[in-house]
Structure 1
């Protein structure tokens, strides 16, 4: 389940380096009066406060947002945390009586232990306290299946998966905001959740109605385990959004905002390049096909931050935004509507850093508070919820797992390997190599299943179970499969084929297995020199490999594994990592594994 486009933290920070203080303004259309004219009293400005990809990060995620300081030099600002996010939302709401709070998906799923241990109920309760109005479902909302997602909307304690609900409070009220899913269809053709919602602003005499349409990426079934999307069909995003426009217009809406869990990447300065000439990704063809009636697109999924006045091929413009990830940013969008004729006469947006708490990063560098950036307090109601949740989670979260000699990160080597992935693969192999567990010989970890680094102080330190869970939050379990050497090579070739062709997805191997690859060679001939403990892999010989159940179901484009009968099944993946660390003596801290198992030739 479990793999979004997930660049390393360093690449994320670089991508948002100059974007965050930018304010984007889309001018008044020709023929319309500006806000400085006497017609000002006939205009209403609605503030839309948007975020995306929170992923249940209730505590500050220890991520830094890079921006420009008052002296013009680059600086890093600590950001995120639900209590600070709530106060930032409250602060922005104070600017106007007319506001809406929206999310572009992955509000829950792939969550740290504090939320995941309680089936993400705490995140829904926190979002209720934010005053969230609408959440367009993302792919990770389906991690536990449609029935469990429906429970998060409706409330109640009906058990749909192995872990029981309502263990935090004994009851669960559900979301006081609406889930939207215009392109997620059930067997009878109806949508799983409403496709759209409307919020009304202003006095009765001159009300403004804004419609919100929600959609998720049509490729969700390819990145979620089959059980999570059983009985559902995911339709084309643009078609589903456009289909809602006539009905919204019939209900008298003056502006339409699309909330879509799909996105792109940018590298340019958004305050200088308002046409987003460098915008790439799956969001581009979707935007090109959206009806010009869409005024704003709030996007997500790629965990990148951007603000774009995007000009489409037909000459129309749409305001495109994303607030990055994990509640580190909020997008403040202002829509000004002329109530005399119901037209949008102004649009602007800026990304606001949700400054939170100082921390020390994986390299031992301090990330301190910035006086030049807005400061936010902890919202008392949200912090009380979090403290109650922390107390309930403490017996498991604070359990010591082991001691590391240094931080173990997802920072990729030239080959695509990273130390954390190699460590996890070693742990998975250790958990399944015994004969009664299938006698695994090799293990692989998918990089998208790694969501956080294991951070310890410079010189080494302890890691607890909560840290391990943050790194591997999906609740997958281990599966042992049997492949011939020829099939093993075909599996590794799939790292660079199909949906992985444009962005190779390198599987991270356990110790003892090595190979090389050459991307200059033709497809199907890129992998060579496969060896296990120094011996060549024999095409006709059978080998036993361990993967998580997401990969075993063909996830991340590794369709060769789909349908293979398991030789054995093992423990949850995070528990395997916990057992591996606990098996090492605290007197000899575990060092980061070397990234020398894969060699990239070209």
Structure 2
């Protein structure tokens, strides 16, 4: 067996001496000084008093997205940086291995709690998504997950379906799978900032308190306030998403009134470390300097009553400190995505105060390597659900000559999907001019290597489902040339200024993206061409998009203003039809050149 995850990580620790009240010279005096509220005065005669400080292990992960099997391609790898600056890539992920790693990490830990940062489900591969993510909830129960926040993808099928995942019950239209009633999550989903518009009350529990003996830690769970911008409007009708900071601060006060002074926030919002290596020391330039993005301002404004932040959403890896409003360093972590990493954080609980001794907090990310034994119960779970999915998932729908990746501003797979939607759009309306695809809707690459019984290069329905799992429709809308240019500018402006969302474009549309500029100016207007011709500002263009973009999702408000709407069929069906029509075993599809967008870097 190769090195353990611990050998792959450099543990970040703030080395400071825990302060002890002056004048306490002996152990007996120290014990006598402990207040009765800490529980020590209640110990029986002849039993030793507990230590003042108790280490609590917090294991955490985020953005699993139903990846029960090892993720394919780049989605199943992490980068490790060595002290000499060299890097290596490690295959990672798979719930069979995640279970083994977590169970091993818990060994010898009398105080251990496991938490997650949202998006446990949604945008899931076929083995989970086909069954409305019941398999993932079952797996999380077996992983002994204690608590998680909701993420935006927990709302992919709407609030009612999220409530079913929490409480159990068979699916309202598909019924019970395998003849067994779904029992629901054995852990609480927390949604402190997701409230019913009419009542103003959270739709699920806002917080949860973990307690073992005299140690109590509260968990508050929120998703990003901007969730309505990145999910289907139909799924969140009647809900309001409130400010993350205000919500967490409110419930931290409520927990304190209940005598819970140790608090961890589970926040489905994240940041971007300066390095993609999972073990990058983002504190090395100075507290918080190595990470950017929304979580920085959130962390800086959350009340000091909160002792640590478990985050997610950005699918990046970090274990940093960011100063709280009082100027004290506070741990902020994220474990990338798809079960490739887990975070091990030691919280040192002070029995005198009931709070976490921040100066003793340590945290590090660890790789879910595949060189450990598979957890048998997870293997059984995967085998059972795969058997149900096999008749659908193993059906061949096309052929590729090599991996078709979804990496980069413009990706080969993005081009392929856009071309498929343009072809489908032309079947609906011969006047369709172009197609646009959101990069976040492409969840995995199409890989050439064989899986299971398929031959090399075969694309199965299950693999295509993993690429496009959202069940969007392909919609057609009319836009003026001026609106079309505005859509392209919205990729790098407005809500997408800091983190651009570059649309994948169909063949015939070309332009230059100049990253040396800022804001909307990064799209070079004079460079935009459709089939070699400049865009006519007054002309009408027929555009194919998925239903998410057609509703103005991902900050593309102009796409929500189209006219002459035509709602087509399933976007995955459009991809399947394109693959069947344009590939065969003798003539597989080759990866597109990804040369439609010219990127000028600094």
> Could you tell me which residue of structure 1 aligns to residue 422 of structure 2?
429
1:338-349 aligned within 5 A: 338-345=350-357, 346-349=360-363
| d(CA) in 1 for partners of 2:286, 2:56 | 22
| d(CA) in 2 for partners of 1:535, 1:398 | 43
| d(CA) in 1 for partners of 2:114, 2:431 | 52
- Report the CA distance between 1:495 and its aligned residue: 2.0
> Could you tell me which residue of structure 2 aligns to residue 390 of structure 1?
386
Question: Quick check: 1:440 aligned with 2:432?
Answer: yes
Q: Is the Cα–Cα contact under 8 Å of residues 400 and 463 in structure 1 kept in the other structure? A: yes
Q: Is the Cα–Cα contact under 8 Å of residues 43 and 336 in structure 1 kept in the other structure? A: yes
The alpha-carbon distance between structure 1 residues 214 and 521, as it changes in their structure 2 partners (threshold 3 A), is: closer
- Report the CA distance between 1:529 and its aligned residue: 4.1
| d(CA) in 1 for partners of 2:222, 2:16 | 28
The alpha-carbon distance between structure 1 residues 308 and 26, as it changes in their structure 2 partners (threshold 3 A), is: farther
| d(CA) in 2 for partners of 1:454, 1:409 | 6
> Could you tell me which residue of structure 2 aligns to residue 48 of structure 1?
58
| d(CA) in 2 for partners of 1:66, 1:513 | 34
> Could you tell me which residue of structure 1 aligns to residue 589 of structure 2?
590
> Could you tell me which residue of structure 2 aligns to residue 103 of structure 1?
116
> Could you tell me which residue of structure 2 aligns to residue 540 of structure 1?
538
**SS at the partner of 2:67?**
coil
| d(CA) in 2 for partners of 1:377, 1:522 | 49
Higher alpha-carbon deviation: 537-546 or 322-331? 537-546
1:209-228 aligned within 5 A: 209-228=216-235
- Report the CA distance between 1:513 and its aligned residue: 2.5
Q: Is the Cα–Cα contact under 8 Å of residues 27 and 347 in structure 1 kept in the other structure? A: no
| d(CA) in 2 for partners of 1:102, 1:521 | 38
> Could you tell me which residue of structure 1 aligns to residue 570 of structure 2?
572
Q: Is the Cα–Cα contact under 8 Å of residues 475 and 550 in structure 2 kept in the other structure? A: yes
The alpha-carbon distance between structure 1 residues 32 and 114, as it changes in their structure 2 partners (threshold 3 A), is: farther
Cα deviations across residues 258-280 of structure 1 (Å, max 9, x unaligned)?
Answer: 11111111225247457232221
The alpha-carbon distance between structure 1 residues 601 and 96, as it changes in their structure 2 partners (threshold 3 A), is: closer
> Could you tell me which residue of structure 1 aligns to residue 207 of structure 2?
196
RMSD in angstroms over aligned alpha carbons? 2.6
- Report the CA distance between 1:299 and its aligned residue: 0.8
> Could you tell me which residue of structure 2 aligns to residue 288 of structure 1?
300
The alpha-carbon distance between structure 1 residues 523 and 266, as it changes in their structure 2 partners (threshold 3 A), is: closer
Out of 55, 58, 67, which is 2:80 matched to? 67
> Could you tell me which residue of structure 2 aligns to residue 314 of structure 1?
326
Cα deviations across residues 184-203 of structure 1 (Å, max 9, x unaligned)?
Answer: 1112010011111001113x
Question: Quick check: 1:278 aligned with 2:290?
Answer: yes
| d(CA) in 2 for partners of 1:165, 1:537 | 50
**SS at the partner of 2:221?**
strand
Q: Is the Cα–Cα contact under 8 Å of residues 115 and 121 in structure 1 kept in the other structure? A: yes
- Report the CA distance between 1:288 and its aligned residue: 1.1
| d(CA) in 1 for partners of 2:529, 2:158 | 39
> Could you tell me which residue of structure 1 aligns to residue 46 of structure 2?
none
| d(CA) in 2 for partners of 1:95, 1:475 | 44
> Could you tell me which residue of structure 1 aligns to residue 339 of structure 2?
327
Question: Quick check: 1:300 aligned with 2:312?
Answer: yes
| d(CA) in 1 for partners of 2:149, 2:519 | 41
| d(CA) in 1 for partners of 2:564, 2:378 | 44
**SS at the partner of 1:109?**
coil
| d(CA) in 2 for partners of 1:182, 1:588 | 53
1:145-294 aligned within 5 A: 145-159=158-172, 164-187=174-197, 188-202=199-213, 207-267=214-274, 269-270=281-282, 272=284, 275-294=287-306
TM-score scaled by structure 1? 0.86
| d(CA) in 2 for partners of 1:330, 1:504 | 27
Q: Is the Cα–Cα contact under 8 Å of residues 517 and 599 in structure 1 kept in the other structure? A: yes
| d(CA) in 1 for partners of 2:527, 2:230 | 30
The alpha-carbon distance between structure 1 residues 501 and 311, as it changes in their structure 2 partners (threshold 3 A), is: closer
> Could you tell me which residue of structure 1 aligns to residue 277 of structure 2?
none
> Could you tell me which residue of structure 2 aligns to residue 24 of structure 1?
13
Question: Quick check: 1:125 aligned with 2:125?
Answer: no
Cα deviations across residues 461-501 of structure 1 (Å, max 9, x unaligned)?
Answer: 22211221211121111001112223222222222221122
- Report the CA distance between 1:327 and its aligned residue: 0.8
| d(CA) in 1 for partners of 2:362, 2:514 | 47
Cα deviations across residues 236-278 of structure 1 (Å, max 9, x unaligned)?
Answer: 1111011112221232224111111111112252474572322
**SS at the partner of 2:51?**
helix
**SS at the partner of 2:436?**
strand
- Report the CA distance between 1:437 and its aligned residue: 4.4
| d(CA) in 2 for partners of 1:303, 1:504 | 15
- Report the CA distance between 1:216 and its aligned residue: 0.9
Higher alpha-carbon deviation: 504-513 or 37-46? 37-46
Question: Quick check: 1:469 aligned with 2:468?
Answer: no
Cα deviations across residues 37-83 of structure 1 (Å, max 9, x unaligned)?
Answer: 96773432211110111111100114222225799963322211112
The alpha-carbon distance between structure 1 residues 483 and 387, as it changes in their structure 2 partners (threshold 3 A), is: same
Q: Is the Cα–Cα contact under 8 Å of residues 255 and 343 in structure 1 kept in the other structure? A: yes
The alpha-carbon distance between structure 1 residues 21 and 65, as it changes in their structure 2 partners (threshold 3 A), is: farther
| d(CA) in 2 for partners of 1:463, 1:284 | 41
- Report the CA distance between 1:566 and its aligned residue: 4.8
> Could you tell me which residue of structure 2 aligns to residue 11 of structure 1?
none
**SS at the partner of 2:443?**
coil
| d(CA) in 2 for partners of 1:438, 1:19 | 55
| d(CA) in 2 for partners of 1:153, 1:305 | 27
Question: Quick check: 1:353 aligned with 2:367?
Answer: yes
> Could you tell me which residue of structure 2 aligns to residue 363 of structure 1?
none
| d(CA) in 2 for partners of 1:21, 1:79 | 18
TM-score scaled by structure 2? 0.86
- Report the CA distance between 1:532 and its aligned residue: 3.2
Q: Is the Cα–Cα contact under 8 Å of residues 300 and 322 in structure 2 kept in the other structure? A: no
Q: Is the Cα–Cα contact under 8 Å of residues 261 and 305 in structure 2 kept in the other structure? A: no
Q: Is the Cα–Cα contact under 8 Å of residues 288 and 322 in structure 2 kept in the other structure? A: yes
Q: Which runs of 5+ in 2 are unaligned?
A: 31-49, 275-279
The alpha-carbon distance between structure 1 residues 189 and 438, as it changes in their structure 2 partners (threshold 3 A), is: farther
Q: Is the Cα–Cα contact under 8 Å of residues 404 and 413 in structure 2 kept in the other structure? A: yes
| d(CA) in 2 for partners of 1:493, 1:406 | 33
- Report the CA distance between 1:397 and its aligned residue: 1.3
